[in-house]
């Protein structure tokens, strides 16, 4: 049985968080929707990125976006989204460190532009170099145990396996492998990142003992992102509480909830029914 | 004599340093810079000499997942 961590705080590279939700900041209809969603989600961290400045006013980039981020007073987690090689990812991480003044980096090295599946080889190489450069790496990875072990070997203290491809909202595609990963990697924080679509998906992985959930599109593209942000926050709390509480063991056959002893009008069904004459 | 900034052609500044280029462009803060696809830290802007055809990327915070 997975060891049950009963503390109510998420610890990431020595930083403690009361929330177990990490929220992406992309694809909101307006800055005010993002701001209100952040308030409703009460996330531990906000993921951000960096891009060339576009001409004209852009609500989700540049100075206005920067000011919004600062006002939330949340921990910022920059990503290396879109990087297709370790070199690109390392360069992007270095720029992000200077821009956001943090050693934290959500490491993405994409191996396939259709599925946006991580490149396991490039991911380990990039993580290895980034750890040596003093980064605190949160790698976006798959649930593959060997990959996860390699990432831990090079110094990653958190892993972020996907539930399903980015932006699909399909929920956990490979439940058995995710649960096995949780069992094997019992001493490292595991945050399910990508592919979560519903609060029930988030609740489920938390019930399995995962330490947190990172999501973006499931909130930002909901009809009501603010309400959905609150729904996810509640689901993640519920799932974690259920894990800590320890679910009952599933039974093969029915077990009466109400005591049998002393039941009035008791009939003994273990003996054959009397034949009517 | 030109440099390519975020994919657009710009005149090479005088003196031809990254600092001079940034003064002429005045990008909104905060930003970070890559020179020929390599990161240049803020402390190295003065010593980074640029030549015609070099590529400069100036990036800003943006939303991300």
Complex ipTM value: 0.93
Whether A259 is covered by a domain: the verdict is: no
The 10s digit of each residue's pLDDT in A196-219 is 999 999 999 999 999 999 999 999
Residue ranges of E strands in B1-64: 2-5, 8-11, 32-35, 38-40, 55-63
- Higher-pLDDT residue of A63 and A46 is A46
Q: How confident is the model at residue A63 (pLDDT cuts 50, 70, 90)?
A: confident
Q: How confident is the model at residue A263 (pLDDT cuts 50, 70, 90)?
A: confident
The DSSP call for residue A248 is P
Distance from CA of B53 to the nearest CA of A (A): 19
pLDDT the model gives residue B61: 94
Q: Beta strand B55-63 with A191-193: parallel, antiparallel or unpaired?
A: unpaired
Q: How confident is the model at residue A2 (pLDDT cuts 50, 70, 90)?
A: very low
Asked if A247 contacts A54 with a C-beta cutoff of 8 angstroms, the reply is no
Q: How confident is the model at residue A265 (pLDDT cuts 50, 70, 90)?
A: confident
A65 touches chain B (CB under 8 A): yes
Query: What CATH number does the domain containing A214 carry?
Result: 3.20.20.70
**Looking at the partner chain, which of B31, B33, B65 has a beta carbon nearest the beta carbon of A24?**
B65
pLDDT the model gives residue A227: 98
Q: Give me the residue spans of the domains in chain B.
A: 1-10+29-65
The DSSP call for residue B42 is G
What's the mean pLDDT in A159-168? 96
Q: pLDDT 10s digit of each residue in chain B, 65 long?
A: 899 999 999 999 999 999 999 999 999 889 999 999 999 999 999 999 999 999 999 999 999 99
Q: What is the dihedral of CA A262, A267, A269, A272, to 10 degrees?
A: 140
Q: Percent of chain A at pLDDT above 70?
A: 91
Nearest CA in chain B to A140: B65
- On chain B, the residues whose CB falls within 8 A of the CB of A37 are none
Q: How confident is the model at residue A272 (pLDDT cuts 50, 70, 90)?
A: low
- Higher-pLDDT residue of A132 and A259 is A132
Whether A269 is covered by a domain: the verdict is: no
Q: How confident is the model at residue A254 (pLDDT cuts 50, 70, 90)?
A: very high
Q: Which of A160, A169, A179, A224 is nearest to A199 (CA)?
A: A169
pLDDT the model gives residue A1: 44
DSSP A250-263: P-SS---SS--TT-
The whole model's pTM is what? 0.90
Average pLDDT, rounded, for chain A: 92
Buried b (16+ CB within 10 A) or exposed e, A256-265: eeeeeeeeee
**Looking at the partner chain, which of A58, A96, A217 has a beta carbon nearest the beta carbon of B65?**
A217
Domain count, chain A: 1
pLDDT the model gives residue A62: 77
Q: How confident is the model at residue A43 (pLDDT cuts 50, 70, 90)?
A: very high
The CATH superfamily assigned to B1-10+29-65 is Beta-grasp domain (3.10.20.30)
Q: Percent of chain A at pLDDT above 90?
A: 84
Residue A267 clears pLDDT 80, i.e. is over it: no
Whether A255 is covered by a domain: the verdict is: no
Q: Which of A190, A218, A220 is nearest to A205 (CA)?
A: A190
pLDDT the model gives residue B1: 85
Q: Do B31 and A53 touch (CB under 8 A)?
A: yes
> Which residues of A are designated catalytic?
106
Residue A4 clears pLDDT 80, i.e. is over it: no
- Higher-pLDDT residue of A34 and A2 is A34
The SS3 assignment for A61 reads strand
Whether A39 is covered by a domain: the verdict is: yes
Q: Which domain, by its residues, includes A34?
A: 10-245
pLDDT the model gives residue A34: 96
Whether A265 is covered by a domain: the verdict is: no
pLDDT the model gives residue A44: 97
């Amino acid at each position: 049985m997975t060891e049950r961590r009963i503390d109510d705080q998420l610890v990431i590279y020595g930083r403690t968080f009361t929330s177990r939700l990490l929220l992406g900041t992309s694809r909101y209809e307006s800055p005010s929707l993002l701001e209100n969603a952040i308030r409703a989600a009460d996330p531990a961290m906000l993921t951000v990125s960096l891009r060339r400045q576009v001409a004209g006013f852009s609500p989700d980039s540049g100075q206005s976006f920067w000011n919004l981020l600062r006002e939330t007073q949340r921990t910022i987690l920059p990503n290396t989204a879109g990087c297709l090689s370790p070199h690109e990812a390392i360069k992007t991480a270095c720029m992000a460190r200077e821009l956001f003044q943090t050693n934290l980096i959500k490491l993405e090295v994409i191996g396939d532009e259709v599925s946006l599946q991580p490149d396991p080889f490039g991911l380990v190489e990039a993580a290895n170099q980034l750890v040596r450069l003093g980064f605190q790496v949160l790698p976006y990875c798959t649930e593959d145990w060997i990959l996860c072990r390699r990432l831990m070997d090079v110094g990653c203290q958190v892993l972020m396996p996907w539930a399903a491809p980015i932006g699909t909202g399909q929920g956990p595609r490979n439940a058995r492998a995710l649960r096995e990963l949780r069992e094997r990697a019992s001493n490292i924080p595991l945050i399910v990142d990508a592919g979560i679509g519903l609060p029930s998906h988030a609740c489920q992985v938390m019930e399995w003992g995962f330490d947190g959930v990172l999501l973006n599109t499931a909130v930002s593209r909901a009809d009501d992102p603010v309400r959905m942000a609150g729904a996810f926050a509640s689901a993640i709390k519920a799932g974690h509480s259920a894990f800590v509480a320890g679910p009952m063991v599933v039974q093969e056959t029915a077990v009466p909830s109400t005591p049998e002893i002393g039941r009035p009008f008791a009939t003994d069904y273990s003996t054959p029914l009397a034949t009517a004459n | 004599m030109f440099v390519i900034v975020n994919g657009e052609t710009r005149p090479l500044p005088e003196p031809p340093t990254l600092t001079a280029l940034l003064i002429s462009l005045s990008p909104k803060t905060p930003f970070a810079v890559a020179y020929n696809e390599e990161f240049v830290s803020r402390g190295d802007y003065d010593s980074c000499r640029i030549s015609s055809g070099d590529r400069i990327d100036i990036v800003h915070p943006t939303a991300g997942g």
